[in-house]
Amino acid sequence: MEVWNPRESSVEELWAEIPAEEGAPFGLSNGGMVSVRDGSEFMYYGGFKGSHHKGIWKYVVADNSWTR
């Protein structure tokens, strides 16, 4: 997963695979992500990996962790 960093005007690769993609033969498409808590956390929702993915995942920047 790559994200745009507006403060640095650059693209950063954060992960080769996110938890919501695990087990998908070709990744997850059409999901959404929003930044919360002034950019210290991200919420990932939706997507498609052979069927519609209904989970919501939270990523915490400080400890580089995902929680469903």
The residues facing 60 across adjacent strands are: 41, 65
Q: Model-level pTM greater than 0.85? A: no
pLDDT score recorded for residue 60: 92
Task: Write the pLDDT tens digit of every residue in 4-61.
Answer: 888 889 998 877 767 766 666 666 777 888 999 998 999 988 777 777 777 888 989 8
pLDDT score recorded for residue 47: 75
| Domain boundary assignment for the chain | 2-67
